[in-house]
Structure 1
């Protein structure tokens, strides 16, 4: 299949192109402002499907709205007609096409042009009135509030939010790309004369800013947001793509003593926490038990033994562990337990606990195994 993508260097275009290539579509005609304009004629002759994503939304002069959103669409459709190419055409419009402003008027004019083209030629047309689109590779301080918020908060820059109660409807770029590829295969999500991305997220500006600030703070808190929420998961992925290139990493607090160290790595509101324990040779750690707190131990380097004894009994159970074999050991409640380094190098253990540590209620009781 030969696919023409106009606006291939734009936000949606870049993401769509990347996913098309991921899915092994290898005959793609890319067209953007830098492309030799004479190539468009050949592309329109050969294309089996057109993604018309090119448009103008931040011109220097308002007259450019009609030139870019109506004029270029007209040029594209005339070339298709010249070659009697009635392949399907998808156009990227906007919810602002319903509004009486220069941008909305130009988008509505492009829609009408496409509808007339369909009536005249019989070609299948797909009009997507996108709400706000967010995700990686969107230009900040341009036309996306989410991109600006993510960029400014990630870079420690000030934000201006005039009305945090403003409600936004947003679609995520990966969902957009998924829907467009579905449309390519004749499986578009159509509602009457328009098509749409089915997963729309509704949230206020204030809530978005609060979430992004929590992402920034999560490094100091060693936390991960609740990724069970679809929007939070997508926004967190978006935020990370705006981190400064020299700030991908961050330090953790190592609690060190003569026995080794214990470092909290990740805390989650609903899945407990993960920590890294380093034990020096010959060192035994633990010798305590829990009522409700339970843990999983995974030795990833070195070798040792994990011992258990059910409280009020004498039987000691031993599990020998090593970084040479990835083996998870559950730490049941009601068993006092310890872990001893039997090697001559540091033993590194990944430890998961089902709840965050609460110094007011640690649920940890000292008792020798």
Structure 2
């Protein structure tokens, strides 16, 4: 199948392109505003499907809305008519249709052109009135408030929030691309207007709070729940805006005669991760927890881990090393320690089910 994408260097188009490239039997034709109309005609002659994503959002003059959104759409339809081609068109429109602005009016006129083409030629077409779209490769001060805020916050630039209670409807670029691509293969109906399946409703205040939590997580190491939902896709978007010289950040650790300890990451509901180094011959620990539990994983060197029920004299031992990875559980009510029994520095990865609270450490000293 030969697929034409107009506005091929735009935010949505870039994300669509990279997904289509991974699909077998899809040949992609790209058309952008710098290309000639003669080139457009040559592509349309060969195309089997058109993703019409080209459009004008923020022109200097209002006439450009109609030139870019209406006239260009009519040009596409006229070329199809010239060659008697009847192929599907998917148009990206906007939920702003109906608000009376020149942008909205131009988008609605473009919709009408596509609808007429669909009816006159009995060919399926698809119109998406998209709300705010966000995700990687979006442009700050152009595509969405999220793009602008991500750009500013990752560069320590203040953001403007007029009303934190303003509610936005948002769709993530990955969900938009998935919705678009399914029309290449699904049986088509007589419907022409479609929506993206997943729509988020968030206030400006909620978005602002999350973005600053992402920023501050490099200092306090506390990351929100980013495994699913809006937080997951917003965090991916935020990371995509990091300047190239800010991909990394330093950890602040603790060092003493025994070695070092660094907290790596803290979560809201799944504890924290840390890493320690221990010098040869040194023992750490000799304490128990009432409720806290930990997992120890030696990733370098050799170690002896010992545990003892505080009401028993029996000592349980585990010999572990970085060449044969083995997790040892620290059981509540068992005092435990870990000794470096090798000749090199021992490195230990530690997960705890709760974040360390110096006011309630749940750490009780007893020799194993």
Question: TM-score, structure 1 length as denominator?
Answer: 0.97
Q: Which residue number in structure 1 is paired with residue 46 of structure 2?
A: 46
Question: CA distance change for structure 1 residues 283 and 187 in 2, over 3 Å: closer, same or farther?
Answer: farther
Shift, 1:191, TM fit: 10
Distance in 2 between the 1:198 and 1:191 partners?
A: 19
Determine if contact 1:44/1:83 at 8 Å carries over to the other structure: no
Q: Which residue number in structure 2 is paired with residue 132 of structure 1?
A: 132
Q: Deviations over 1:78-134 (max 9, x none)?
A: 112222221211000000112211000000000000000011111110000000000
Q: Which residue number in structure 2 is paired with residue 80 of structure 1?
A: 80
Question: Which shows bigger deviation, 309-318 or 104-113?
Answer: 309-318
Shift, 1:156, TM fit: 0.6
Q: Which residue number in structure 2 is paired with residue 168 of structure 1?
A: 168
Determine if contact 1:298/1:328 at 8 Å carries over to the other structure: yes
Question: For 1:206, what is the secondary structure of its paired residue?
Answer: helix
**Structure 1 stretches of at least 4 aligned residues deviating more than 2 Å after TM superposition:** 22-26, 34-37, 190-193
Q: Which residue number in structure 1 is paired with residue 254 of structure 2?
A: 255
Once the two structures are superposed, the pairs formed by residues 14-53 of structure 1 within 5 Å of their partners are 14-24=14-24, 26-53=26-53
Shift, 1:292, TM fit: 0.7
Shift, 1:229, TM fit: 5.0
Give the total of aligned pairs: 368
Question: CA distance change for structure 1 residues 339 and 23 in 2, over 3 Å: closer, same or farther?
Answer: farther
Shift, 1:24, TM fit: 3.9
Q: Which residue number in structure 2 is paired with residue 352 of structure 1?
A: 351
Distance in 2 between the 1:312 and 1:162 partners?
A: 62
Question: For 2:290, what is the secondary structure of its paired residue?
Answer: coil
Determine if contact 2:213/2:223 at 8 Å carries over to the other structure: no
Q: Which residue number in structure 2 is paired with residue 142 of structure 1?
A: 142
Shift, 1:38, TM fit: 1.7
Determine if contact 1:58/1:143 at 8 Å carries over to the other structure: no
Determine if contact 1:304/1:341 at 8 Å carries over to the other structure: yes
Determine if contact 1:172/1:234 at 8 Å carries over to the other structure: yes
Distance in 1 between the 2:45 and 2:202 partners?
A: 43
Q: Which residue number in structure 2 is paired with residue 321 of structure 1?
A: 320
Once the two structures are superposed, the pairs formed by residues 147-158 of structure 1 within 5 Å of their partners are 147-158=147-158
Determine if contact 1:285/1:339 at 8 Å carries over to the other structure: yes
Question: Which shows bigger deviation, 10-19 or 77-86?
Answer: 77-86
Shift, 1:35, TM fit: 2.6
Distance in 1 between the 2:82 and 2:254 partners?
A: 73
Q: Which residue number in structure 1 is paired with residue 97 of structure 2?
A: 97
Q: Which residue number in structure 2 is paired with residue 267 of structure 1?
A: 266
Gaps of 5+ in 1: none
Shift, 1:143, TM fit: 3.6
Determine if contact 1:262/1:276 at 8 Å carries over to the other structure: yes
Question: For 1:97, what is the secondary structure of its paired residue?
Answer: coil
Distance in 2 between the 1:220 and 1:69 partners?
A: 46
Question: TM-score, structure 2 length as denominator?
Answer: 0.97
Question: Which shows bigger deviation, 14-23 or 124-133?
Answer: 14-23
Shift, 1:284, TM fit: 0.8
Question: For 1:98, what is the secondary structure of its paired residue?
Answer: coil
Question: For 1:22, what is the secondary structure of its paired residue?
Answer: coil
Determine if contact 2:300/2:345 at 8 Å carries over to the other structure: yes
Q: Which residue number in structure 2 is paired with residue 177 of structure 1?
A: 177
Distance in 2 between the 1:122 and 1:114 partners?
A: 12
Question: For 1:92, what is the secondary structure of its paired residue?
Answer: strand
Distance in 1 between the 2:79 and 2:302 partners?
A: 71
Question: For 2:37, what is the secondary structure of its paired residue?
Answer: coil
Distance in 2 between the 1:10 and 1:263 partners?
A: 42
State yes or no: 1:295 paired with 2:311: no
Determine if contact 2:124/2:190 at 8 Å carries over to the other structure: no
Q: Which residue number in structure 1 is paired with residue 60 of structure 2?
A: 60
